[in-house]
Structure 1
């Protein structure tokens, strides 16, 4: 088998490592993109429960604070 392209410049092992780096970077980028796209999207019921939990925690931490609404 003859070398061609990047393999010709860097050698077979280096070309393989380079391709693995590109594939790994692509997979990591896809995972990060998926996480960012899913963050902050709560259903209405999840948002309401989060708000109730937050208000309860604030009342517990500072009982003198007036209710928020």
Structure 2
């Protein structure tokens, strides 16, 4: 008897291996989504420190530049 349906599509790949690939892709996608959501969020103190550092670097690089505020 010939293979038909899912057996024909999978070939030698077992159904368990296929499910493991789907679960792995789901976990990887969740991890990437978590990283994307967490990136870019700074606390107020972190944002203020970044602004101070940027302002000092701009003054150091171009002393003639006026503060934007």
TM-score (norm 2): 0.71
Structure with the largest fraction of helix = 1
Q: Cα distance, 1:46 vs. partner?
A: 0.7
Query: For residues 34-58 of structure 1, what are the alpha-carbon distances to aligned partners after superposition, in whole Å with 9 as ceiling and x for unaligned?
Result: 0111122111111100110111111
How big is the alpha-carbon RMSD for the aligned residues of Structure 1 and Structure 2? 2.2
Unaligned runs of 5+ in 2: none
Work out the number of aligned pairs and report it.
64
Structure 1: 5+ residue stretches without partners: none
> Which whole-Å CA distance do the structure 1 matches of 2:23 and 2:50 have between them?
38
**How big is each residue's C-alpha offset from its partner over 1:16-39, in whole Å with a ceiling of 9 and x where there is no partner?**
442232122111110111011112
Instruction: Report what 1:49 is aligned to.
Output: 49
TM-score (norm 1): 0.71
